[in-house]
Amino acid sequence: MPPSLTFIGLVHLIHHCRRLHTIGMSFCACQVDINNEPFSQTIPNVNITELSVGMSPIVDPIAVASQLRRFLPKLTHVNSSLDWLDDDIPTPPLFEHLEEGWDRVNVLLED
């Protein structure tokens, strides 16, 4: 079952919890329209330097990296992990390409 939180939930957290420096949560990392609220009203949070996304599904790594860079300018790496999955059990289709997507985000954040 995919997480019920979305990128909008992450942006609300970034916007309203200005003293956070680390976030760990699973969310659906889908592209959003940054010209609409709450995105257009959100001031980048320079305190957050670490983001752990667990098994968050990701649709468009390039768009997600761009959005993360805009809202979290000090973020240089996203932690994601499927290491706990047993190799003998097939990965559910929703989670098959997660590591590839988040690895791509990390490459883009490093640039």
The pLDDT tens digits of the residues spanning 37-95 come to 666 677 899 999 999 998 888 989 999 999 999 999 999 999 987 655 566 777 667 67
Q: How confident is the model at residue 12 (pLDDT cuts 50, 70, 90)?
A: confident
Q: Does the global pTM surpass 0.95? A: no
Q: 81-89: which pairs have CB atoms within 8 A and are 24 or more residues apart?
A: 81/54, 81/55, 82/55
**Chain segment 80-104, per-residue pLDDT in tens:** 876 555 667 776 676 777 888 999 9
Report the percentage of the chain scoring pLDDT > 70.
Answer: 80
Identify the domain containing residue 77 by its residue range: 7-110
In a domain, 1, yes or no: no
In a domain, 2, yes or no: no
pLDDT of residue 87: 65
In a domain, 64, yes or no: yes
- Total domain count for the chain? 1
In a domain, 59, yes or no: yes
Question: Position of tokens 């001031």?
Answer: 43
In a domain, 76, yes or no: yes
